[in-house]
Amino acid sequence: MFFRGRQPDQSVWKRFRTAADGFSFSHDDDYYTAHLVANAERVVDLFIALMEHLPPAVDLAMADVRSGRSWKGEALALPDVREAISRIKTLLATNGGTEISVYTSEDQLTVNQVLELFVYARTDQWLYILKGKGLEERRLVRTRSWRGVQREYAEAPELVAALAEMAESLRLTPT
Residue 86 pLDDT? 97
- 124 vs 135, more confident: 124
For the chain, the average pLDDT equals: 86
Among residues of the chain, what percentage have pLDDT more than 70?
Answer: 82
- Give the pLDDT confidence score for residue 141 in this predicted structure: 66
> Is residue 6 a part of any domain in this protein?
no
Domain membership flag for residue 9: no
Task: Tell me the CA distances in angstroms from 87 to 48, 80, 91, 103, 165, one per residue in order.
Answer: 11, 11, 9, 19, 11
Q: How many domains does the chain have?
A: 1
**Least confident segment among 21-35, 51-65, 109-123:** 21-35
* Domain limits for position 117: 18-142+153-174
Cα–Cα distance, 158 to 165 (Å, whole number): 10
Q: What is the dihedral of CA 134, 63, 173, 117, to 10 degrees?
A: 10
Q: Which of 85, 101, 99, 91 is nearest to 157 (CA)?
A: 91
Task: Say whether pLDDT at 75 is over 90.
Answer: yes
Looking from the CA of 97 toward its CB, the CA atoms found within 13 Å total 20
58 part of a folded domain: yes
pLDDT, mean of residues 61-73: 96
* Confidence bin at 142 (pLDDT 50/70/90): low
In a domain, 4, yes or no: no
